[in-house]
Amino acid sequence: MVKLKIDNIDVEVEDGTSILDAARQAQINIPTLCKHPDVDPSAGCGLCIVKVGGRIMRACSTPAAEGMEVVTSDAELKEIRKTVLQLILSNHPNDCLNCSRSGQCELQEITAEMGIDRNDIIKLVSQEPKDDTTKAIVFDPAKCIVCGRCVNICQNVQNVWALSYLRRGFVTKITGANNTKVGNSPCIRCGQCAAHCPTGAITDYDNTSKVAALLSDKENITVVQIAPAVRVALGEEFGFDFGTNLTGKIYAALRRLGFTKVFDTNFGADLTIIEEASEFVKRFTTNDNLPMFTSCCPAWVDYLEKNYADNIPNLSSCKSPHQMVGAVVKTYWAEKAGVDPSKVKVVSVMPCTAKKWEIERDETMSSSGYKDVDEVITTRELAKMIKAAGINFKQLKEEEADNPLGEYSGAATIFGVTGGVMTAALRTAYFYITGEELGTLNFKEIEGLSAVKVAEVDIKGTKVRIAVVNGVGNVAPVMDAINKAKAEGSELPYHFIEVMACPGGCIAGGGQPRVMGATFDKPWGINNDIRKLRSKGLNTEDIEAKNRLSHKNESIKQLYNEFLGEAGGEKSHHLLHTKYCKRKLYK
Amino acid sequence: MVDEPGLGCKVGEKWRKKRGSLIMALHEIQSVKGYVDWKDATDLAQTMGIPLARIYEVLTFYNFFKLVAPGKAVISVCTGTACYLKGNDKVLEKFKSELKIKEGESTSDGLFHLQCVRCVGCCGLAPVCVVNGKTYGRMTPEQVPAILDEWREVFKEA
């Protein structure tokens, strides 16, 4: 521990704490645009300057030291900060009124807080066009302040290396290697760059107008589904506490938006578990292509196809839950409801930007004979649609989902949390192997936000070794261990591995609401405290659920009895499974 | 004749095991073929296990590295303090207008490449230009056409 004085307030912090964080502990907020709780300091923006013994230093990258006397704000510091901010603003268009980040922009809020009411510096704004080649995330160089957060996340946290700096100094630009368009780069569309961008430079590839067009065509039978993680995050856009589960209100809002049928991706999660647990049990008992990786995260699938193509046989062939729902809606449900599947339009509300790409990743995404899922919007985009429709979300009465694709178990809802898919799959795999139910339905070792979580599960004497990778940036050591064991012919370190590209899982996906408010008690953007609160929202729903097992979902049983036949059977294989191919890092 | 497709791999293999040696590897490629192209960079990324994005961050950070083949005669105009104050900015403008290219570019016939450098170490001769190692001191814009003709002759003979 070190003791120091910040603005004459005594503070005691752990060794290695930055002045920026130490000040926050003393309830002093130092402005910053580049530092974020998820990344190491880059000392890029220059706003967090403080005086240490009279010398001007950057608070983000200077560790607190014993006996330090720090001044965080005086006339000179304020003046310098203002100039720094004015220089940043001189390269930024004054587009706030028609920017999708308006009202939710860190740059806008800091500018207001610092009282910038005029700017005499000549404007020099990038004229480079937007890059929307990923069809998931849009990059606008004009609005980029080159704070470097996105590069830091993409390279150092996600280990994707799609984004990088090009050139230096005034002409620095953030883009793919050698100015490659991001859609042709190793980008996996996880959207973590968008989730961490402080301005409107990285935003959703907006599909709200396409969804509005689907809704306004009265010939269409519009079907909507929401992912597990959406229900515990959307509320943040409407003043609810972090992690509040608002499933019933969201169903109600979706009906008001005009959707004919409101289903739930959680139904698809249960369906995924039936297929995936069956697949695992089969592969495990016949020692076929082990270890098996989960495949519900499209960003992870893309990452493996690009970086570890030799491990493609290890991926589960199961589609992700919302794709399964799409395929089932346009076949089983359309037939049951007696409607023309060509008129059925499926919209998925996802916490994820990669899902926008997933719906067209190959022909198996059109297994019903039509595009299984027509459009994907993120949680953020749904919030926008609800606001634009003038729906008083906060006061909505809770409603139920439509059946039969609305029923779900507790196992399904935890898909949105790191470790959740593994937990759900083990519950059902245990039943499939032993014919009995597990005593305790949770596996403590794979809960929480550690990078790689491992456990050994005893299934009546058979040891199953599992790993849960929290964030694709943590997958390399696991892959190395597996491929080393394979090469040496030694025993595999794991049999079953869950990977989620976004740290924390889908609850902190790239399409989730941006946390608002630049003050210290409500930090900007996602962080681990918020990840825990959102996770708790889903875990609580699981614990309180009447049924916590996918294989006990009655609607799922009915689906197999009436339509699919058996798990992994011919029909399932056609509608619910996919295939993979090696993809180039650069196109 | 340099086996171009293999250069990135060969150099990468040599430097692979030494930490922090990316710049040395890039230097070596440029010294052999005069520039570092996409193929070299991707081969280097593969053999050294360095993300391509990082390689281009380095390549585009330093003015020194060239991404495309430069002209045969590389004109370096010194824009260090002494040369700049003595009027090398006007010499640079003259080169640009004569060759119809900007700094960092090559002429379409592949003959000339124009670049700025920061001090060549003979400020007493300011303003200074260097073409393929030959130094021209006390430059004036009026000398530019003659220098260009001189090098056109050199490569005509070659």
Q: Are the beta carbons of A153 and A39 closer than 8 angstroms? A: yes
Domain of residue A35 covers: 2-88
- Which pLDDT belongs to residue A117? 81
B60 touches A at CB < 8 Å? yes
Are B23 and B16 in contact by the 8 Å Cβ rule? The answer is: no
Smallest CA–CA separation between A178 and chain B, in Å?
6
Final residue of a structural domain among A204, A235, A270: A204
Out of B38, B57, B67, whose CB is closest to A164? B57
Biggest alpha carbon–alpha carbon distance for chain B = 52
- Give the DSSP per-residue string, A254-283: HHHHT-SEEEEHHHHHHHHHHHHHHHHHHH
**Rounded percentage of chain A residues whose pLDDT exceeds 70:** 98
What's residue B64's pLDDT? 84
User: Choosing from A18, A278, A295, A316, which is the catalytic residue?
Assistant: A316
| Token representation of residue A338 | 């007696």
Query: How much is the mean pLDDT over chain B?
Result: 91
Query: Is A487 found in the same domain as A469?
Result: yes
Residues A459 and A320 in one domain: yes
| Claim to verify: residue A433 and residue A448 sit in the same structural domain | yes
Catalytic choice (A106, A237, A279, A407) = A279
Task: Write down the residue that tokens 């606001």 correspond to.
Answer: A387
> Average per-residue pLDDT in chain A?
95
Interchain CB contact of B55 with A (< 8 Å): yes
**Token representation of residue A236:** 């943040």
pLDDT (average), residues A217-232? 98
Residue A27 within a domain: yes
Which of A172, A178, A179, A587 would best serve as a mutation to test chain B binding (most B beta carbons within 10 A)?
Answer: A178
- Looking at residue B69, what is its pLDDT? 86
pLDDT in tens, A261-286: 999 999 999 999 999 999 999 999 99
A276 has catalytic annotation = yes
Mean pLDDT of B30-55: 94
pLDDT digits (tens, 9 = 90+) for A51-103: 999 999 999 999 999 999 999 999 999 999 999 999 999 999 989 999 999 98
The verdict on A393 and A490 lying in the same domain is: yes
Asked whether the predicted pLDDT for residue A491 surpasses 80, the reply is yes
pLDDT at residue number A523: 61
A498 & A433 share domain = yes
Q: A35-44, A117-126, A154-163: which has the minimum mean pLDDT? A: A117-126
Query: Does A524 have pLDDT greater than 70?
Result: no
Read off the pLDDT of each residue in A119-132 and give the average, rounded to a whole number.
90
Domain assignment present for residue A195? The answer is yes
Domains contained in chain B, CATH given: 4-61 (no CATH), 73-157 (3.40.30.10)
Query: CA A229, CA A266: separation in Å to the nearest integer?
Result: 10
Q: For position A29, which CATH number holds? A: 3.10.20.740
What pLDDT does A122 receive?
Answer: 87
- Does pLDDT of A525 surpass 80? no
- Distance, CA of B128 to CA of B27 (rounded, Å): 25
Q: What would the two tokens of residue A515 be?
A: 């946390």
Residues forming beta bridges with residue A70, ordered by sequence position: A6, A52
DSSP A396-442: PPP-PPPSSTT---HHHHGGGSTTHHHHHHHHHHHHHHHSS--SS--
| pLDDT tens, residue by residue, B97-128 | 999 999 888 999 989 999 998 888 899 999 99
**What is the domain count for chain A?**
3
pLDDT category, B1, cuts 50, 70, 90? very low
Most A-contacting residue of B22, B35, B55, B57 (CB-CB within 10 A), to test interface: B57
Q: Decide if A146 touches B, using CB distance below 8 A.
A: no
From chain B, pick out residues whose CB is under 8 angstroms from the CB of A168. 60-61
Domain boundary among A158, A174, A204: A204
**Cβ separation A161–B56 shorter than 8 A:** no
Q: Is B54 on the interface with A (CB under 8 A)?
A: yes
The answer to whether A256 and A313 have CB atoms below 8 angstroms apart is no
A480 touches chain B (CB under 8 A): no
CATH number of domain containing A171: 3.30.70.20
Residues A322 and A234 in one domain: yes
Question: Using 50, 70 and 90 to split pLDDT, how confident is the model at A515?
Answer: confident
Residue A440 shares a structural domain with residue A318: yes
Contact B53 A162 (CB under 8 A): yes
Instruction: Determine the 3-state secondary structure of A82 from DSSP.
Output: helix
| Active site annotation includes A506 | yes
- B19 has a pLDDT exceeding 90: no
Among A66, A219, A363, A491, which one carries the catalytic annotation?
Answer: A363
Q: Which residues of B are less than 8 Å from A161 in CB distance?
A: 51-54
* pLDDT over threshold 70, residue B3: no
The average pLDDT across A545-567 equals: 97
User: Per residue in A425-458, pLDDT tens?
Assistant: 999 999 999 999 998 999 999 999 999 999 999 9
* Residue A67: per-residue pLDDT: 96
Q: pTM for this structure?
A: 0.92
* Angle at alpha carbon of residue A321, lines to A316 and A323, rounded to 5°: 95
pLDDT band at A132 (very low <50, low <70, confident <90, very high): very high
ipTM of the shown complex = 0.91
Confidence grade of residue A406 (pLDDT, cut at 50, 70, 90): very high
Q: Which of B52, B62, B68 to mutate to test the interface with A (most CBs of A within 10 A)?
A: B52
**Catalytic site includes residue A296:** yes
| Residue A317 confidence (pLDDT) above 90 | yes
Pair (A362, A272) in one structural domain: yes
The pLDDT assigned to A236 comes to: 92
Instruction: For residue A322, name the pLDDT band (cuts at 50, 70, 90).
Output: very high
